[in-house]
Amino acid sequence: MKTGRAILIVADSVGAGVMPDSEQYGDAGADTLGNISRAVGGISLPNLERMGLGNLHKMEGVKEVPHPQAFYAKMRELSEGKDTTTGHWEICGIITRKAFPTYPNGFPKSLMDDYEKAIGRGTLGNYPASGTEIIDQLGEEHMKTGKPIVYTSADSVFQVACHEEIIPVPELYRICEIARGLLTGEHAVSRVIARPFLGSPGSFKRTENRRDFSLVPPYPTLLDLAKEAGLFVMGIGKIEDIFVHRGLTESDHTGNNKKGLECILRQLDSKRGRKGIIFANLVDFDMLFGHRRNVEGYAGSLKEFDDYLPKIMSAMDDDDLMIITADHGCDPTWKGSDHTREKVPLIVYSKQFNEGRDLGERSSFADICATLVELFGLKSELAGESFASQLA
């Protein structure tokens, strides 16, 4: 098929049921889409339904359709872990064979001593926690002492929470960059995350000034190849953070789903007639609703995404290709507050298609990379098996 622009949308954490190894991660019953739909008594997603979402995964309120508008499948993750970085890297052709380190008992004292010396402050916390809960627990002390709150989760993350009126956002970013510089070798966590918040004790609220400081990908990704070939590569949301600005010709660090979707629409309008990739992460599903185990909010966010899709579809040129997928699960009905090890949906749409069909269960997220490599005529030894020949 002829391809002008690829619109690659990662609906962050929108998982589609267990992987064969989910039990090893404590996630044997996780199913983000299925469990949400059942918990709310059915969910109406008519645009995704027409594309084949109900064909690829069983959901209450989302039916199978006999003539889907898009090609569809589920994808397994080959990488170890259930993290944003591993998921996005795999989508772009890199398989993470060894899981990034995690810290169920907090970070070692020697590491924290080095960190506190480097930033010139003591710290609070240093244990696994929900981000909203730990600022409720330690926010008042943080405001009195000026000590940053450090915490982690089941994921490979070093998170630093600070009140914006106590430690301004630029200073928070600076001390996160210091942490990133220290977290190498055996302590090379996938991401250091700045978690700014505002408010007063009892009513703290995280802001949209979050920033991720990721590891540098170990070798060139799909984005690097596309940029080197002269294609534009636009990163939307936290894509620039995940890939440490590598392989991008432009970026817009949108703070929520609505701004991300609006940015996609602007890019479709401004880049007509050009070849390239619009790569967007929609973070609200994960950050606002998955981790906070807010089932109703997650369902509402899915509906908002579905409602917006016709605008994107209408703005697409005839030779544009839209791919909707996810990077992991974060089932809000599941125990704890962490990501869940799940398969992810794959929906592939173009105005060129008369009718879509099942692409079969894919063995890796990297099949997206291999497909775009083939469609754009790039030279690559990255992971993945292309499904380009099936898009007819």
Of 152, 167, 162, 182, whose CA–CA distance to 337 is shortest? Answer: 152
* 276 bridge partner residues: 5, 232
Q: Return all residues near 372 (Cβ < 8 A) that are at least 6 apart.
A: 6, 8, 222, 226, 277, 378
Q: Which CATH number fits domain 5-97+215-390: 3.40.800.20, 3.40.720.10, 3.40.50.300, 3.90.650.10?
A: 3.40.720.10
- Predicted confidence at residue 337, as pLDDT, reads 86
Instruction: Report CA dihedral (361, 366, 347, 1) to the nearest 10 degrees.
Output: -110
> Residue 392: pLDDT above 90?
no
Is the confidence at residue 191, as pLDDT, over 90? Answer: yes
Residue 314 · residue 38 · CB < 8 Å: no
- Among 367, 351, 266, smallest CA distance to 70 is for 351
Exposed, middle or buried by CB within 10 Å (0-12, 13-18, 19+), for 363?
A: middle
pLDDT at 204 over 90: yes
Prediction pTM value: 0.93
The residues that bridge with 213 in the sheet, in sequence order, are: 192
Whole-angstrom Cα distance, residue 248 to residue 260? 16
Instruction: Decide: residue 322, CB within 10 A, 0-12 exposed, 13-18 middle, 19+ buried.
Output: buried
Tracing tokens 């060139």 back to the chain, one arrives at 220
Which residues on adjacent β-strands are paired with residue 132? none
Which tens digits make up the pLDDT trace of 65-107?
999 999 999 999 999 999 999 999 999 999 999 989 999 999 9
Looking at the DSSP bridge assignments, the partners of residue 9 are: 280, 324
Q: What is the pLDDT of residues 139-163, one digit of tens each?
A: 999 999 999 999 999 889 999 999 9
Task: For residue 117, count other CB atoms closer than 10 A to its CB.
Answer: 9
Please check whether residue 304 is in contact with residue 44, taking contact to mean a CB–CB distance below 8 angstroms: no
Judge whether 154 and 338 are in contact, CB under 8 Å.
Answer: yes
Q: Is the pLDDT of residue 344 over 90?
A: yes
Collapsing DSSP to helix, strand or coil, 367 comes out as helix
Angle between helix axes 295-315 and 257-270 (nearest 10 degrees) is 10
Q: How far apart are CA 43 and CA 39, in angstroms?
A: 9
- Of 309, 312, 306, whose CA–CA distance to 278 is shortest? 312
Q: What is the pLDDT of residue 199?
A: 98
Instruction: State which H helix or E strand residue 117 sits in.
Output: helix 109-119
Q: What is the pLDDT of residue 1?
A: 80
3-state SS class at 352: coil
Task: Check: CB of residue 78 under 8 Å from CB of residue 341.
Answer: no
162 vs 58: CA distance, rounded Å: 41
Mean pLDDT confidence for 362-380: 97
* CATH code at 109-213: 3.30.70.1250
In tens, the pLDDT along 2-60 reads: 789 999 999 999 999 999 999 999 999 999 999 999 999 999 999 999 999 999 999 99
Residue with tokens 């590891």: 215
What's the pLDDT tens digit per position in 222-257? 999 999 999 999 999 999 999 999 999 999 999 899
Exposure string (b/e) for 344-355, b if CB count within 10 Å is 16 or more? bbbbbbbeebee
pLDDT tens profile 278-332:
999 999 999 999 999 999 999 999 999 999 999 999 999 999 999 999 999 999 9
- Domains of the chain, by residue range, sit at 5-97+215-390, 109-213
Please, which pLDDT band fits residue 379 given cuts at 50, 70 and 90?
A: very high
Strand pairing partners for 199? none
pLDDT in tens, 113-135: 999 999 999 999 999 999 999 99
